[in-house]
Amino acid sequence: MEKDGAKTYVPVKWSAELETGFADVDAQHHTLVGLLNKAGAALNASKPALLEHLLQELIAYSQYHFETEETLMRRCRYAENAPFEAATHLNQHRSFTSRVHVMYDTLIEDGELQPRELLDFLSSWLALHIRHTDQLLVHFLAQASGWERK
């Protein structure tokens, strides 16, 4: 879709492939997708102050979510039992955090980065991370605890 020659942000649609079956994690993923889509709507509506606020909220909430996942990882001893997967998961969180902060700072301070670029990165990263890395973690949690995924 285009608006005044620029492509508009297309919202992320929640689907079954984004569900992990772990209620707390899924609820947080829903919140992240919701914030991302609200930021996209603010971009499409040309509301820069609202967009900036929502991006700040999205970045803060992603940190909260990562802390939740990393607490689960420690509790189930993920690193001891699946060291490669645990290290990959943690590295993805750190890389995401670093890249998003650089992109956000560039957007706010220099205006060189287009907001759409940041939103596109966030939406593609989030979907890939949930579909692969988070699924591995939840699969491990289910096996380690005897909990059955829905």
Summarize pLDDT for 130-140 with one digit per residue, the tens: 999 999 999 99
Summarize pLDDT for 24-52 with one digit per residue, the tens: 999 999 999 999 999 989 888 888 888 88
Summarize pLDDT for 80-111 with one digit per residue, the tens: 999 999 999 999 999 999 988 888 888 888 77
Task: List 2's β-bridge partners, or say none.
Answer: 7
Higher pLDDT, 112 or 121: 121
Looking up tokens 């949690």, which residue turns up? 141
CA distances from 73 to 31, 42, 133, 142 (A): 21, 35, 12, 12
User: What's the pLDDT score for residue 149?
Assistant: 57
CB 89 within 8 A of CB 133: yes
Q: Which residues contact 37 (CB under 8 A, 6 or more apart)?
A: 11, 12
For the chain, list the domains and their CATH numbers. Answer: 21-145 (1.20.120.50)
